Structure 1
Amino acid sequence: MNNQIEQVAIAILYQNNKFLMQLRDNFPHIAHPGCWGLFGGHLEPNESPEIALQREILEEIGYDLPSFEKFGIYSNIKVLHHVFHAPLLVEVDQLCLNEGWDMGLLTPDNIRQGNCYSAIAGEIRPLGDITHQIMLDFIST
């Protein structure tokens, strides 16, 4: 049994005081199914959080991440989240969603409320718990 904590690198991508978020697939076997989350993913063995972040963002939305900065580290019982932030320098329609159910630019009000409407889902969907906390911390800085 592996007792090592799982590690992920995720990005807060912002444009005009809005934040690009992914509506996670609505599959019961994944963490936070059907919830809004940040783009990014798991670190490969011996991969730094910075390299993992660039790889995951390119894989998930086809975005070649510009320079980015570390925001912080968040942990729960299962996962250590390396959180970075960077500007989104292209229009959302120039991105290609390769992972997830939907994506959109959420406003600070969406984040404070903890939910946002998805046209693809056809309903208001919540932010995942840890994502909600990260984003509340980010918009309050």
Structure 2
Amino acid sequence: MTNQQVHVAIAILYQKDKFLMQLRDNIPNIPYPGQWALFGGHIEVGETPDIALKREILEEIGYNLPPRFAHFGCYADERAMRHVFYAPLEVEFNQLVLNEGWDMALLTPSDILQGSCYSAIALEVRPLGIIPQRIMLDFMKMGNG
């Protein structure tokens, strides 16, 4: 763990047997450019991971997390400490407003297993980020998908 490591809070949002994921902007200097990842973001000074997650999800897709969302685990590497939570997506997909990212979609377990999904906005199949895919595979192994 270095001083360069950032802390982020990210959400596994599920609806029936699908998972909401964000197609990241295709900007070279961000993590997972042009790849599918999970919604969430940086934990600000003085914020707890759960408070940061509520703020980020509201900012990114206009969704208020339900009161009972749960901590799934932490995934760390040299770049980031990822605090991962999970919650049901309790609104229809078309009620979400994408305020950050290139696209969003409800991915199936088979999309996640194969590591890619088609984007109607990018008009092509785009890969899942390596760590977001690992998180999702771990989540599904726990009987969640």
Determine if the alignment matches structure 1 residue 8 to structure 2 residue 3.
no
Return the TM-score normalized by structure 2: 0.94
Q: Report the equivalent of 1:17.
A: 17
Q: Report the equivalent of 1:139.
A: 140
Which secondary structure does the structure 1 equivalent of 2:51 belong to?
helix
After superposition, residues 54-93 of structure 1 pair within 5 angstroms as 54-66=54-66, 67-93=68-94
1: CA distance between counterparts of 2:119 and 2:94?
15
Alignment gaps of 5+ in structure 2: none
Q: Report the equivalent of 2:28.
A: 28
2:4 and 2:79 in contact (8 A); partners too? no
2: CA distance between counterparts of 1:63 and 1:39?
11
1:29 Cα deviation from its structure 2 partner:
1.3
Report the number of matched residues: 140
Which secondary structure does the structure 2 equivalent of 1:86 belong to?
strand
2: CA distance between counterparts of 1:95 and 1:32?
22
2: CA distance between counterparts of 1:94 and 1:86?
17
Alignment gaps of 5+ in structure 1: none
After superposition, the CA RMSD in angstroms is 0.9
2: CA distance between counterparts of 1:11 and 1:70?
9
1:4 Cα deviation from its structure 2 partner:
4.7
